[in-house]
Every structure is written in structure tokens, then in C-alpha cells.
């Protein structure tokens, strides 16, 4: 019910062919009642959520409080829900919360001063964000107002992005794009900075609210914008997990999330394949209910040859550990179509692809180098793809960047392989040291000079291809870091000496 939902004011989902046969399973949870349950938040061994109480005789309506329920063996089954301990719940509405660390909560509440409602000059009951701290007795106390609350407009529905140190929220403050827009305020370590509107690729002329930053850093929210299924619908704005840049405009969730009624307030488990959300869809018990959702692996029935189920497995290149929640973008360069997938807990994703097409595959995962693979021809064997973990001050060899004896020129075969490093710099916001090494023949001073000349030559080539020179530093190491036995005076083959005439790069800094 929108009135309750708005507190009297606020009121994976890809599109690939492979996802056409994919779907989600939705199940109501057992603690729904004929009243209203909404805005779940996965917390510890259960969920925090809002539930409406008995009718307030003075106000003649039900108000929401925040509850906690512990999960049982099944994700739809919870123990008896109890009101949150402490001083969060008061006379009017409390709901829509987020956790900042383990002991700080930011939540939404109707504005109250000395037990009385606060309204704008137009008489509208407004919302504010408040902060609560968990004490050693397990109670949420020390309630403080958010610094950007304002007596003339509402601020609510917070969600915290720990990676960005940003608090996203909804507000109808003046100067927005629609009625209610999404904003963020960055925490600089000492204070909350002035809020910034998220812009037109997210906000519309209608209302956007209840944002959620998911484990993959994408932004989910609810909107009643034109073109939806009806009421409030769930939307997603995909996120480059490394650069933390928005990919494109917001898209409605597919797979059965959106109905003709209100669908909003989503929260995810870490694997992004299950979670909870709020809906007033047909079959509900109350005005709003909480539903559990789970991704059901599609059973591929090829339309006809040449379609196949193409399975991709992603792992850590060094440790071979499987990498869940890796974003995979598959595109058809001929048509410009692209589809987004995320690997499951086993590092696996499956797409139904045409064996007559050469696809482009791009992979992104936080704290790993992004990877692009061109001209991929799907086969029944699928693909096993390794990603390299990104670590500051760790050296990585640029394979097959060799130099002729006593020369610093970039050989044609080396130029081709430097292209891979150039692509890495284009795809990843890093500053690197490019180190050149010589073999042990010649004197030490000469080798240092030669290696410095080789490093400068490689850097000049990289810069000539459009890379900012401030992102690449040349460093010659001479023969101080040999990779084999071939020290001065040791008899070695020319191939062994060439192994030492190599180029490496070291990450100095990661830009955010």
C-alpha cells in the first residue's frame, strides 16, 4: 500500500538470450502478517525489516517500527520477530535502514520534536535520516540526526557503500530532476560532504527511492517512471566493479520481479543469486509483504543448431580459486548487442550462444585486473578464464618483451605484446613502474644505463598509443634481478641470457 510505504510522503538480471529461459523463484516469508512488512535488510543471522503496528488512536493510522528476526534452516522461515532493542522505535514511522560497519545504523524516521510531528510549511509530514549506535548490551542507542536533514524537505531511505564511503539516499529537496531523486553524500573521514544528485541516467521526472548498493556495487532502486509494469518497479544501474563507474542508463529488473503493484526495497546475499524484497503483488497477506527470491539455473533447450549452452568458469590465475560474483559482459560486435551475467558461488556462468558468431567477452571483478577476450567462438567445451589479482608493489612480467643484445629498440614481436599492457592500462585505473632488465654480460654501470634506455623506449611506445605519461614510470634495473643462474662468468645459452633481458611492470597506485 503506497500510503504506508511512503510514510505519507515517499512513496541479474540481464536481457541476454541465455536469460530469456532463466527465471527467479519467489516465495513469501513466514513472518508476513495481514499488516505490512517491508524494506528487509540482511543482518547477522536473519533480517531487519519494518512492520506496521496497531492503530494509533490519536493519529488514526498504523505506524512502522523496525524488527529483527533470526532465520531458520530455510530462507523463507524465521523465528518470531521482535522489535529492535534500544531507542530506534518511537511513536511514528521507522524503516528503511542501512548498516555502516557493525555498530552504526542509519535509518529513516518521521521528523519528531518533543513528541510532536514536524511538517514543512505546506503541512507535509516529512522524513529524516537518523544514526544509532549498538552498545555492548545489544541495544541501539545514542540517536543522532543526519547533518543534511532539513526542516523544509524529506531525506530518507539510506544505503551505505563501504567501497566508496558514500551514503546514497532519496530526497525531494529543491533543484532535483523529478519529485523524489536519489542523492549521495561522501564521508571524508570527519564529516558528511554536501549531497550530490545522481543525475539523469538514474533520476527521472517521476520518483526514485529505496536505493540499495548491492555486493557487486551496482545500484538498485524503485521508481514509478513511465514505461514500467505499474506502481513502483525495481531498476538496476550496472556498475564497473573496478572503476566504480556507472555503465549506462537504469534498466528494469527482468525475471518476474516487477508486477502491476508496488515492488521495492531489495537486499541481496553476497552471491547475488538470492535475497529479499518488498511487494504488494497479488497473493499478499498484508498491504505489503516480504518475499524471498532465488535465481533458478536455466535449463537450456537450444532453439536449433547452431545454439549451444556455453559454460564459463572464472578463477584466480595464481591460486586457481574459483571466483564468484564476477561480472561477464558478452557482446556481438556485428550487431552491438550485449548481455550481462554474474558467476555463481562456483565461479560459473552459462550463456546460450550461436556457434557461428565470434563474440567479445569482458570480465570485471573488484581487486582483479579487468580482462577482454576478442573473437571467441563458442564450443561445447566452454571456457576456463583466469583473472590476475591486483596488488600494489607486486611485479608482473610482460611476457615476450625481449631485446637484442646491447640494443634498446622495441622489436616488432615486443610491440605486439606491449599492446596487451596498453590495453590493461586502458581498462584499469593504475599507475605503474615499467622495469627493464639486462643479462649479466657487460659491466654493472653499462647494464644499468642500457636497462634504463630500454625502459624509456618501452614507456615512449606506450605513451605514443595515448596513455598518460604520468601513469607510467621507466626504471632500469640492469642485472640486479636475474631470474636464473646466469650471473657474470657463468656459462649460459643465448636463450637463458634472453630470459633475463625482460620487462616487468609493478603497480604503484590504484586510482579510485
502 within a domain of the structure (yes/no): yes
Residues 379, 430 share a domain:
no
Residues 381, 249 share a domain:
no
Query: What is the per-residue pLDDT for 408?
Result: 73
Q: Which of 325, 312, 315, 313 is nearest to 386 (CA)?
A: 315
Q: What is the CATH number of the domain that holds 344?
A: 2.60.40.180
229 within a domain of the structure (yes/no): yes
Residues 410, 332 share a domain:
no
Over residues 137-186, the pLDDT tens digits come to 999 999 999 999 998 899 999 999 998 899 999 999 999 999 999 999 99
Relative to beta strand 127-134, strand 233-237 is unpaired
* Number of structural domains found in the chain: 3
Rounded to a whole number of angstroms, the distance between the first and last alpha carbons of the chain is 41
What is the extent of the structural domain holding 256?
Answer: 2-289
Q: What pLDDT band is residue 6 in, cutting at 50, 70 and 90?
A: very low
Residues 118, 80 share a domain:
yes
Is residue 10 pLDDT above 50, yes or no? no
Residues 430, 380 share a domain:
no
Name the percent of the chain lying above pLDDT 70.
Answer: 86
C-alpha cell read off for 13: 538480471
Q: Which of residues 63 and 301 earns the better pLDDT score?
A: 63
C-alpha cell read off for 430: 593504475
Query: What is the per-residue pLDDT for 245?
Result: 66
For range 228-257, the mean pLDDT: 80
Q: Identify the domain boundary among 387, 418, 451.
A: 387
Low-confidence winner among 128-142, 411-425, 488-502 (lowest mean pLDDT): 411-425
Query: What is the per-residue pLDDT for 156?
Result: 96
What does 30-78 look like in DSSP terms, one character per residue? TT--SSBEEEEEEETTEEEEEEEEEEETTTTEEEEEEEEEEB-SSTT-B
340 within a domain of the structure (yes/no): yes
Beta strands across the sheet bearing 37-43: 37-43, 46-56, 61-70, 82-83
Query: What is the per-residue pLDDT for 499?
Result: 86
253 within a domain of the structure (yes/no): yes
Q: Identify the domain boundary among 359, 387, 415.
A: 387
Q: Identify the domain boundary among 387, 410, 433.
A: 387
> Which residues neighbour 217 within 8 Å (Cβ) at sequence distance 6 or greater?
161, 163, 239, 241, 244, 366
Q: What is the CATH number of the domain that holds 477?
A: 3.30.1330.60
299 within a domain of the structure (yes/no): no
Residues 401, 346 share a domain:
no
Q: What pLDDT band is residue 506 in, cutting at 50, 70 and 90?
A: very high
Residues 226, 122 share a domain:
yes
Q: Which of 193, 274, 266, 262 is nearest to 231 (CA)?
A: 262
295 within a domain of the structure (yes/no): no
Residues 362, 313 share a domain:
yes
Q: The whole model's pTM is what?
A: 0.69
Inter-residue contact 62 to 30 (CB < 8 Å) = no
Relative to beta strand 274-279, strand 251-252 is unpaired
Residue-averaged pLDDT of the chain: 86
Low-confidence winner among 95-104, 299-308, 356-365, 434-443 (lowest mean pLDDT): 299-308
Name the percent of the chain lying above pLDDT 90.
Answer: 54
Residues 87, 140 share a domain:
yes
Residues 7, 147 share a domain:
yes
Beta strands across the sheet bearing 503-510: 395-397, 503-510, 430-436, 472-476
81 within a domain of the structure (yes/no): yes
**Cα-based distances in Å from 192 to 130, 146, 195, 196, 459:** 13, 9, 8, 11, 41
Q: What is the CATH number of the domain that holds 78?
A: 2.115.10.20
Is residue 187 pLDDT above 50, yes or no? yes
- Number of C-beta neighbours around residue 236 at 10 A: 24
Over residues 257-285, the pLDDT tens digits come to 999 999 999 999 988 889 999 999 999 99
Query: How far apart, in whole angstroms, are the C-alpha atoms of residue 285 and residue 265?
Result: 17
Inter-residue contact 332 to 348 (CB < 8 Å) = no
Residues 151, 96 share a domain:
yes
Query: What is the per-residue pLDDT for 118?
Result: 56
Query: How far apart, in whole angstroms, are the C-alpha atoms of residue 380 and residue 284?
Result: 43
DSSP class of residue 431 equals E
Over residues 388-416, the pLDDT tens digits come to 888 888 888 777 676 666 677 777 766 77
For range 243-253, the mean pLDDT: 74
Over residues 429-458, the pLDDT tens digits come to 899 999 988 889 888 899 999 889 989 988
301 within a domain of the structure (yes/no): no
Query: What is the per-residue pLDDT for 43?
Result: 95
Query: What is the per-residue pLDDT for 16?
Result: 34
Query: What is the per-residue pLDDT for 112?
Result: 60
Query: How far apart, in whole angstroms, are the C-alpha atoms of residue 326 and residue 459?
Result: 31
Residues 412, 284 share a domain:
no
Amino acid at each position: 500500500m503506497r500510503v504506508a510505504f511512503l510514510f505519507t510522503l515517499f512513496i541479474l538480471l540481464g536481457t541476454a538470450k541465455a536469460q530469456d529461459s532463466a527465471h527467479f523463484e519467489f516465495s513469501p516469508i513466514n513472518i508476513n502478517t495481514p499488516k505490512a512488512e517491508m524494506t528487509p535488510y540482511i543482518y547477522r543471522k536473519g533480517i531487519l525489516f519494518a512492520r506496521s503496528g496497531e492503530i494509533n488512536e490519536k493519529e488514526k493510522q498504523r505506524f512502522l517500527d523496525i524488527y529483527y528476526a533470526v532465520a531458520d534452516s530455510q530462507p523463507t522461515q524465521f523465528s518470531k520477530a521482535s522489535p529492535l532493542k534500544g531507542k530506534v522505535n518511537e511513536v511514528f514511522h521507522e524503516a528503511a535502514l542501512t548498516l555502516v560497519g557493525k555498530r552504526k545504523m542509519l535509518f529513516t524516521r518521521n521528523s519528531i520534536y518533543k513528541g510532536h510531528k514536524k511538517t514543512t510549511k505546506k503541512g507535509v509530514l516529512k522524513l529524516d535520516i537518523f544514526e544509532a549506535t549498538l552498545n555492548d548490551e545489544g541495544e541501539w542507542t545514542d540517536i543522532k540526526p543526519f547533518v543534511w536533514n532539513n526542516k523544509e524537505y524529506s531525506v530518507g531511505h539510506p544505503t551505505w557503500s563501504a567501497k566508496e564511503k558514500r551514503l546514497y539516499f532519496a530526497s525531494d529537496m529543491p533543484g532535483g530532476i523529478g519529485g523524489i531523486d536519489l542523492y549521495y553524500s561522501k564521508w571524508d573521514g570527519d564529516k558528511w560532504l554536501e549531497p550530490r544528485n545522481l543525475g539523469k541516467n538514474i533520476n527521472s521526472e517521476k520518483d526514485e527511492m529505496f536505493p540499495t548498493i548491492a555486493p557487486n556495487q551496482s545500484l538498485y532502486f524503485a521508481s514509478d517512471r513511465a514505461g514500467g509494469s505499474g506502481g513502483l518497479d525495481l531498476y538496476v544501474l550496472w556498475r564497473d566493479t573496478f572503476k566504480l563507474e556507472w555503465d549506462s542508463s537504469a534498466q528494469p529488473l527482468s525475471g518476474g520481479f516487477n508486477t502491476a503493484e508496488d515492488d521495492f526495497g531489495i537486499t541481496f546475499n553476497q552471491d547475488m543469486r538470492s535475497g529479499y524484497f518488498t511487494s504488494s503483488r497479488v497473493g499478499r497477506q498484508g498491504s505489503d509483504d516480504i518475499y524471498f527470491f532465488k535465481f533458478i539455473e536455466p535449463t537450456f533447450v537450444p532453439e536449433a543448431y547452431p545454439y549451444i549452452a556455453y559454460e564459463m568458469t572464472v578463477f584466480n590465475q595464481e591460486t586457481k580459486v574459483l571466483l564468484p560474483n564476477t561480472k561477464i559482459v558478452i557482446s556481438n560486435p556485428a550487431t552491438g548487442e550485449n548481455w550481462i551475467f554474474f558467476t555463481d558461488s562456483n565461479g560459473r556462468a552459462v550463456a546460450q550462444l550461436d556457434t557461428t558468431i565470434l563474440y567479445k567477452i569482458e570480465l570485471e571483478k573488484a581487486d582483479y585486473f579487468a580482462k577482454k577476450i576478442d573473437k571467441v567462438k563458442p564450443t561445447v567445451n566452454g571456457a576456463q578464464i583466469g583473472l590476475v589479482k591486483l596488488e600494489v608493489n607486486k611485479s608482473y612480467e610482460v611476457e615476450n618483451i625481449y631485446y637484442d643484445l646491447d640494443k634498446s629498440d622495441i622489436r616488432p614481436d615486443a610491440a605486439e605484446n606491449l599492446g596487451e599492457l596498453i590495453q590493461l592500462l586502458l581498462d584499469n585505473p593504475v599507475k605503474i613502474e615499467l622495469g627493464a632488465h639486462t643479462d649479466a654480460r657487460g659491466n654493472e654501470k653499462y647494464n644499468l644505463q642500457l636497462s634504463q634506455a630500454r625502459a624509456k623506449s618501452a614507456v615512449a611506445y606506450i605513451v605514443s598509443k595515448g596513455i598518460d605519461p604520468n601513469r607510467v614510470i621507466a626504471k632500469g634495473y640492469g642485472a640486479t634481478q636475474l631470474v636464473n643462474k646466469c650471473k657474470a662468468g657463468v656459462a649460459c645459452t643465448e636463450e637463458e641470457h634472453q630470459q633475463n633481458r625482460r620487462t616487468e611492470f609493478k603497480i604503484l597506485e590504484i586510482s579510485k
